[in-house]
Amino acid sequence: MFAEDRLLATTNLTFDISCYEMFVTLLNGACLVLAHSEDLLDSKALETVLRDRRISVMWLSAGLFHQHAHAVPEMFAGLRCLIVGGGTIGPRAVRAVLKSGRPGMFLNGYGPTENSSLSTTYRVDDLSARGDRAHRDQRSRLDGLCDAGRRNDRRTLGRPANCVSVGTASHWAT
């Protein structure tokens, strides 16, 4: 997040990702833009908001991403960064955006609520022709680490990605 960025807040304040939207934006001196909920649900209205309000960064839930990517995939082309999370993102929607509306940076965010907003992200640059789920391998590795942390498995100690483990602070010791 840079001071010149404009982030469109898309999340209800009761969800953990709203902390990311508010605090990361404001603490970096960027502009937090609020939208009407009806604009977030209508693809053409959201496209207009993104363009007219000069939005450069946006987080979308997987459900909203699918809806908008299928209807108007080109709406994301003007974004510097699009983060999608909260569920598995489907390959058809990913391919539509990569083909017609590729943002400057397209991130698939993952992070269980226990870790707050985002534990990790995966940069989406392409998707194999055979891919049935975007980033299935990445998600599987992360789920395995989280499961290992729940079992108190010491094999994750000292590995860079073990910060996604869920468990006691001793899991993050090196």
For the stretch 95-108, pLDDT in tens is: 999 999 899 999 99
103 and 48 within one domain:
yes
Q: Is the pLDDT of residue 24 over 60?
A: yes
Model pTM greater than 0.85? no
119 and 35 within one domain:
yes
Average pLDDT, stretch 31-46?
95
Q: How far apart are CA 45 and CA 40, in angstroms?
A: 7
Helix (H, G, I), strand (E, B) or coil at 39: helix
Query: How far, CA to CA in Å, does 159 sit from each of 21, 149, 173?
Result: 29, 12, 10
Q: How far apart are CA 155 and CA 153, in angstroms?
A: 6
Q: How many CB atoms lie within 10 A of CB 9?
A: 19
| Type and span of the H or E element at 141 | helix 136-150
For the stretch 71-120, pLDDT in tens is: 999 999 999 999 998 888 899 999 999 999 899 999 998 776 666 667 77
148 and 113 within one domain:
no
94 and 174 within one domain:
no
112 and 144 within one domain:
no
Question: In the structure, what pLDDT confidence band is assigned to residue 70 with cuts at 50, 70 and 90?
Answer: very high
